[in-house]
Amino acid sequence: MLLFIILHRPTIRGERIDCLFLANIYIILLVISCFFLDMYFYYITGYLYPNSSFDNLWCRTKGYILYICGYSFFHSFSLQAIYRICRILHPIQTKRQPFNLYVIIFLGQWIFSAIELLPSLLIGDIEYLENDFHCQVAPTNMRSSLTVCLIGFLAPFTIILYCYGYTIYYVRKHNSTIITIKQRTILRRDLIILRRIILLLTVLTSSAVPHVAFPIVYIIIGSLPKWLVSLEWALTILALLSISLVIPRISPYLKTLRAKKRFYKVSITQSQSTSF
């Protein structure tokens, strides 16, 4: 999908920004996939050689980068929600912003995520799990698990909900002043996108429930089954895989691109038949 986006770069400014949002999401998914493959490689190696230990700085750094990708994934959707509401509230000012500004914002998103997670790395919240042969926030650590869920998942999700709710409020309040068909089309499209983002992130957030549930279970019963961490990541992978398959089907930009391609093919076919 990332290659498809690169090969079909749009020339219209609005479509270029939509393309940038999609490219950013799939770059994050690609990086996360690489780290998941690395994680399972070490898991298999550790299973075959139980006395092996990968407890080192590189292991913690990989765990740190993996969580940065997770934070950036949610921040990417919250940025898209902010962009949609800015386009509704301040259409002219938003349209005048240079494209490079959005590129800088997405780069800043990665830096911001790294800064958010830096305290967790420095105080040792990202630690080596001997039974799973990789580094992550320990499921028995209540403080670090709540920090990851609140800052990485809940905060961006709250921003998106606020953008969606305020957009509905604004549209109902100023419905009589929105007179052009183009304005109504843009509003309808942005509301649909915000609604779909909320549905997607609800699915993904539900996969993060074990991050909060495991420490609570540990406090109650004093131990956790060894297979729970594997289940935790399996649910995360399933959610990310589902989202990566759903996004191309609900993205307005990709729908427009497919419609243009079909129109182009029909035009070529008609011109060829006419020439014969």
Q: What is the pLDDT of residues 90-124, one digit of tens each?
A: 777 777 788 888 889 989 999 999 999 999 889 98
Q: What is the pLDDT of residue 261?
A: 55
On whether residue 210 sits in a domain, the answer given is: yes
The pLDDT of 61-79, averaged and rounded, is 90
On whether residue 6 sits in a domain, the answer given is: no
On whether residue 273 sits in a domain, the answer given is: no
Ramachandran angles phi, psi of 31, nearest 5° = -65, -45
On whether residue 272 sits in a domain, the answer given is: no
The pLDDT of 216-245, averaged and rounded, is 79
Domain containing 183: what range?
11-263
On whether residue 24 sits in a domain, the answer given is: yes
Q: Is a pLDDT exceeding 90 seen at residue 49?
A: no
Asked whether the CA dihedral 177, 182, 184, 187 is positive or negative, the reply is negative
Structural tokens at position 207:
């996969």
Structural tokens at position 178:
């929105």
On whether residue 168 sits in a domain, the answer given is: yes
d(CA 187, CA 167): 9
The pLDDT of 56-64, averaged and rounded, is 92
Task: Specify the number of domains making up the chain.
Answer: 1
Which amino acid is located at 111 in the chain? I
- What CATH number is given to the structural domain containing 43? 1.20.1070.10
On whether residue 102 sits in a domain, the answer given is: yes
On whether residue 188 sits in a domain, the answer given is: yes
Do 81 and 160 form a contact (C-beta atoms < 8 A)?
A: yes
For the whole prediction, is pTM greater than 0.95? Answer: no
| Stated length of the chain | 276
d(CA 187, CA 95): 15
The pLDDT of 158-182, averaged and rounded, is 73
